[in-house]
A and B are shown apart, each in its own frame.
Chain A
Amino acid sequence: MTSVHPNSTTTTRFARRFLISLSRMRRPITLGPPSDEEVCRRTRRIKLAAYSSMARAVGSRRAWSRALLLKVRNRVRFQGILRNRFLASKKKRVIKRNKASGEMNKTDMLRKLVPGGETMDICGLLEETAHYMASLATQVKVMQSIVDQYSK
């Protein structure tokens, strides 16, 4: 198995994309401190930007990044014009299979956490989790350093 850790190119790509999207979201400082609702809204947008730039930096190599990108794209088009028809039917079958046990066990929780996790079997799910975890860690690292920069 190849290493799960994102290499430095991925990290730099993510940082760059994220910063670009952040700079697009700047609000004029003359408006004063942001209201709660605005902060909420901005938080969500920033979070979305972080995840999508991470997924783009990773590329289509991993299943979770593909699933994330698909999700983002589908949301953007509002009603999922791009929804993958093939995937829909396969998903139903796989979800049914994965739900074989009646109750909610840990695997299901993991599936919910990892993007694209519902259509995977356990083996693939664990692998994707590993990679996803590593990328989340880099995401946190980069964002933390950005925050540090801004608060200096």
Chain B
Amino acid sequence: MSTATMTAPADKKSHSLALKAGLLLVGIHVFVGLLTLVWLPYDPTAMAGGRLEGPSLLHWLGTDRLGRDLFTQMMIGSRIALIVGIGAVTIGAIIGVTLGLLAAFASKWLDDALAATLDILIAFPTLLIAMLVVAASDTANLWSAIIALGIALSAIVARLTRILAKRVLVMDYITAARTSGSSWPKIVAIHILPNIWPTLSVNFALQFGLAVIAEASLSYLGLGAPPPNASWGRILQEAQGTVYTAPLGAIAPGIALVSLAIGVNLLADGLRDTIDPTRRAR
């Protein structure tokens, strides 16, 4: 108890710092993403200036090779990245948690079969699975990319959920709840999900970053959102031919990607620490 109280202030500080930094980074992207719905500096598809202009007061990040304002495209990229991240993680979470719980409760052979299938799926890179799913659907658009990424991520979520749920299932408090007559759905809702949630949520944050980067890669390969949707991956792809003359076209999407991914992870870490009473300083 005494060590807990002694380390509490320092812990609390670093926790809340992570939370604040995460909130700030994610907040900026969310703000910009929402802003694009009502206001943009320039028409993203129109020639707003000369080709490949450098940064100026009129064009903060310069223009691309068609003379479009890069900052405008980056703003739209924030919105797309958020939609992709939230969409893919939500799909991955729903499918993955359901499958994982199923496996945890299943009879031994079904559990083994599911576990083996998941291991094989996870052995393939997320991007490869997503490419196969997108290729299998007729049209490549933002939603096919999101669904593909969600499906690819669900295998990772399922495996983690299975392991975490199994660990909770053997706890005495589960047996105690069953002894006192709790039904399984109730036990899942009030004991299992809350206890696996802290670890899962941190994993979701990792996957959010993974999904945004994977979408960028899909776009880069021409399998993501088609133009005029300026996802960061597409901006990167279009900038690659002119990277020596106008490096900002490649640097800006890179920084945006990394800042969002780090922000989401910091936010998830910080949130977990405030949710989990054993980590929370009183």
Partners in one complex: no
Interface residues of A, Cβ cutoff 8 Å to B: none
